[in-house]
Structure 1
Amino acid sequence: MNASDDNTLNYVMSSCARFPLLLNAMRCSLLVSAHNLDCLFVIRGCGESLVVEHVRQPRLLGIALSDDQQCLSLASYQQIWDYRRVDPAALVGESTHIVAGKDAVYSPCGSTVTGHLNTHDMAWGTDGLYMVNTRFNCIAKPTDGKSFEVVWMPPFISELVPEDRCHLNGLAMKDGRPAYVSYFSQVNSPYSWRQASSFSGEIMSVTTHQPVVTGLCLPHSPRIHDGYLYFCESGTGRLWRCLEDRLPASRTDLELVAELNGFTRGLSLMGDVAFVGLSVVRRPKDGSARHADMPLHQLREPLSSGVVVLDLRSGEVIANLTFSGDLNQIYDVEVLKGSTTPWIVDAESAELSDLFIL
């Protein structure tokens, strides 16, 4: 099955027959950020087919969806966009006709201009939105009147400067608070992670300020789920997990969930199922040969871009979705639970002019 509903986007999407059926059976839809195409992809099942819609956002990376599914935030190039789920009873006039047939509608309600923070992972917590401010090497929160408010910094970072020293990227939440972060290298000079070994990545505890997993190849997407810390070791195409009560973990404490044919980045967990994003390894924009020791460089077969669905009990692939063409960089994957016909309203859409919420 192929799909591309926008002629301005040069990509082809194909999936196994189980993918749309799985989304329907789980009563969910999928949100996927593709920063190289400046798009949020909204993917849902429709019988035996997939339907794809787009929301344009420049250099989109992180997606944050609150636990109650009421708040959605997107990490765009120079700002954070916020959306709220619309209560159908609050709609008036033509609005009720506009949303007909949709079981979840998210309307843009504002944005916070931050400047280019290169914001990666984001997550909603008990006291607001947290974001990984990669350029300033910290966890931060958006705030009025300032570019951001610092929440936490790794202990090895000596000053708050826009220099992306360690490439802080991933954030795992626990009990509504930041619990773990991932980064490429424990270094403290401007952009020095680019010169470090691919295997100097770590997962660090936010509460103890100590690494809990070391020697990782370009880690991303740490997540806490059912007592385990899950994370992507992107440069090897692997998904790992470790019981949280076994942290700090040695290599023997880690359990390999799956090894996939792509740069693993973007992880959403639901019950016994994991949705994992896959990307093609891209060449550095500066033309350098950094991370030449990345194992994915040694694979003979071409890498895949898309989303793989795994059974966490066995590590087996349940379903897969593949992109080709220009769509080869996936950053984040989020499951929209309880919705099979969602609508994320684009801030530039014509329908927004008649969408009134009172």
Structure 2
Amino acid sequence: MSSAAVPTTPFTIQHTPQVPEILAEVGCSLALTTYQAGKVILISSDGERLIQLPRTFEEPMGLAVDGDRMAVATKHSIVLLANEPRLAPTYPRQPDTYDALFVPRSVHFAGALAVHDMVFTDQGLIGVNTLFSCLFQLDPRFSFRPVWKPPFVTALAPEDRCHLNGLAAVDKEIRYATALGRSDTAGGWREGKERGGVLMHVPSGEILLDGLAMPHSPRVYDGVLYLLLSSTGELVAVEGARDGDGGDLRYEVVNRVPGFARGMARAGDYVFVATSLIRKQHTFGDLELAGRKDVVCGVTILHLPSGAIVGELKYLRSCEEIYDVQVLPGLKRPGLLGLHDETHRQALSMPEQTFWGREREPDA
């Protein structure tokens, strides 16, 4: 891969020249979550080079973005952030740097639910509660409010019965979900996990496809359902997927990416697919991918109309696994404040005004 080193430490990456060009062409930035490194990473372009901004969150996985809203699923909570561009030019630590600034606005303490994919819908934020094998909504009175479970799961229990992981929305309504097995026992998905995955139609509960190679990240683009087969590194297009219509469904491989494929987002004609290394001691350490030398942790860019790979970036150190990737449309250099950065406490906003406050001095 022809590459240019990005001068960031310790999250050093290599990338093909097309990556900053594509981000500049589309006019977007990327947001990644890596639970292994404990970061949400924003990646931006100035047209020639990439700029990274890693921020600390506790084992982040699921990431949802909708306009000026962002949600990050961490080990014990869901962090809700809002973009406040009026604060960006006067950000105390780097003034006149960012064109957007995502700041934490609330935290929902849900517990260690292993929350995977999340999507903003007309019913609010919907997430995948992998521990309890269900989809859920936030409710300030409870850890979570279940809204759906696969038809083969008979009871909600903290047992990760099927490793429910992915969901896709159409017109802001949940339509599809993926799981790694059709199991109703604690951890039952682990047996035969490499080829036991299922794609489900949420409104009807129908299983549309089974025998899948560890499906993740279902997404609907231009009316076509795509998903990632993680253990084979394949991006596939599902043919014939319609509301409640099982029909004669099949899938076609669009292309393969170099790693455990998980996390996908689209901007224009491009899709960004995240890949991870698989460590031997990992839950998936017995997969064939774990022993291969050609797998990388990074992001592969594909031209969706043709399926061709047109750009790649890979991490050389610090980051070995990525869970999710999202596009931040229209943002050329966004900023982000995490809970571990005390500056977020000073980011004050009202509908009409914004201020950078200061901590109250203790009484003498």
Q: TM-score, normalised by structure 1?
A: 0.90
3-state SS, counterpart of residue 113 of structure 2: coil
3-state SS, counterpart of residue 352 of structure 1: helix
Counterpart residue number, 1:86: 84
3-state SS, counterpart of residue 186 of structure 1: coil
Give the C-alpha shift of residue 318 in structure 1: 1.0
Aligned pairs, number: 345
Given residue 3 of structure 1, which amino acid in structure 2 is its aligned partner? V
Counterpart residue number, 1:230: 226
Residue 296, structure 1, aligned to residue 296, structure 2: no
Decide whether aligned partners of structure 1 residues 197 and 123 sit closer, same or farther in structure 2, where only a CA change above 3 A counts.
Answer: closer
* 8 A contact 2:20–2:50 mirrored in 1: yes
Residue 72, structure 1, aligned to residue 70, structure 2: yes
The separation in 1 between residues aligned to 2:131 and 2:41, in whole angstroms, is 25
1:96-153 CA-to-partner distances (Å, cap 9, x unmatched) read: 9965342221111010000100000001001210010000000001110210000101
Q: Percent identity?
A: 29
Residue 346, structure 1, aligned to residue 331, structure 2: no
Given residue 15 of structure 2, which amino acid in structure 1 is its aligned partner? S
Q: More displaced, 97-106 or 165-174?
A: 97-106
Residue 3, structure 1, aligned to residue 14, structure 2: no
Give the C-alpha shift of residue 21 in structure 1: 1.3
The separation in 2 between residues aligned to 1:249 and 1:40, in whole angstroms, is 40
Given residue 145 of structure 1, which amino acid in structure 2 is its aligned partner? R
1:29-54 CA-to-partner distances (Å, cap 9, x unmatched) read: 00011110000010001231111011
The separation in 2 between residues aligned to 1:197 and 1:257, in whole angstroms, is 23
Given residue 63 of structure 1, which amino acid in structure 2 is its aligned partner? L
Counterpart residue number, 1:115: 111
Give the C-alpha shift of residue 297 in structure 1: 5.1
Give the C-alpha shift of residue 352 in structure 1: 2.7
The separation in 1 between residues aligned to 2:288 and 2:309, in whole angstroms, is 21
The separation in 2 between residues aligned to 1:92 and 1:76, in whole angstroms, is 25
* 8 A contact 1:95–1:354 mirrored in 2: no
Counterpart residue number, 2:298: 306
The separation in 2 between residues aligned to 1:188 and 1:92, in whole angstroms, is 48
The separation in 2 between residues aligned to 1:250 and 1:278, in whole angstroms, is 30
Give the C-alpha shift of residue 353 in structure 1: 4.2
Given residue 332 of structure 1, which amino acid in structure 2 is its aligned partner? D
Counterpart residue number, 1:152: 148
Give the C-alpha shift of residue 269 in structure 1: 1.7
The separation in 1 between residues aligned to 2:52 and 2:235, in whole angstroms, is 26
The separation in 2 between residues aligned to 1:118 and 1:201, in whole angstroms, is 18
Counterpart residue number, 1:319: 311
Counterpart residue number, 1:54: 54
Decide whether aligned partners of structure 1 residues 14 and 285 sit closer, same or farther in structure 2, where only a CA change above 3 A counts.
Answer: closer
Decide whether aligned partners of structure 1 residues 124 and 244 sit closer, same or farther in structure 2, where only a CA change above 3 A counts.
Answer: farther
Residue 24, structure 1, aligned to residue 20, structure 2: no
3-state SS, counterpart of residue 71 of structure 2: strand
The separation in 2 between residues aligned to 1:92 and 1:157, in whole angstroms, is 46
* 8 A contact 2:276–2:296 mirrored in 1: yes
* 8 A contact 2:89–2:97 mirrored in 1: no
Q: TM-score, normalised by structure 2?
A: 0.89
Given residue 303 of structure 1, which amino acid in structure 2 is its aligned partner? V
Superposed CA RMSD in Å reads 2.3
Decide whether aligned partners of structure 1 residues 197 and 291 sit closer, same or farther in structure 2, where only a CA change above 3 A counts.
Answer: farther
Counterpart residue number, 2:272: 275
Decide whether aligned partners of structure 1 residues 156 and 26 sit closer, same or farther in structure 2, where only a CA change above 3 A counts.
Answer: same
The separation in 2 between residues aligned to 1:215 and 1:93, in whole angstroms, is 51
Give the C-alpha shift of residue 350 in structure 1: 4.4
Give the C-alpha shift of residue 92 in structure 1: 11
Q: More displaced, 237-246 or 201-210?
A: 237-246
Residue 221, structure 1, aligned to residue 217, structure 2: yes
3-state SS, counterpart of residue 123 of structure 1: strand
The separation in 2 between residues aligned to 1:27 and 1:281, in whole angstroms, is 32
Which of 255, 258, 263 in structure 2 is aligned with 1:258?
255
The separation in 2 between residues aligned to 1:279 and 1:250, in whole angstroms, is 32
1:18-71 CA-to-partner distances (Å, cap 9, x unmatched) read: 1111111111000011110000010001231111011111111011001xx111
1:320-341 CA-to-partner distances (Å, cap 9, x unmatched) read: 1111223110110100000001
Q: More displaced, 235-244 or 152-161?
A: 235-244
3-state SS, counterpart of residue 25 of structure 2: helix
Give the C-alpha shift of residue 244 in structure 1: 4.8
1:135-173 CA-to-partner distances (Å, cap 9, x unmatched) read: 000000111021000010111111111000100000101
The separation in 2 between residues aligned to 1:135 and 1:178, in whole angstroms, is 19
Give the C-alpha shift of residue 261 in structure 1: 1.7
The separation in 1 between residues aligned to 2:153 and 2:281, in whole angstroms, is 24
The separation in 1 between residues aligned to 2:274 and 2:88, in whole angstroms, is 39
Given residue 46 of structure 2, which amino acid in structure 1 is its aligned partner? C
* 8 A contact 1:166–1:193 mirrored in 2: yes
In structure 2, the gaps of 5 or more residues are: 351-364
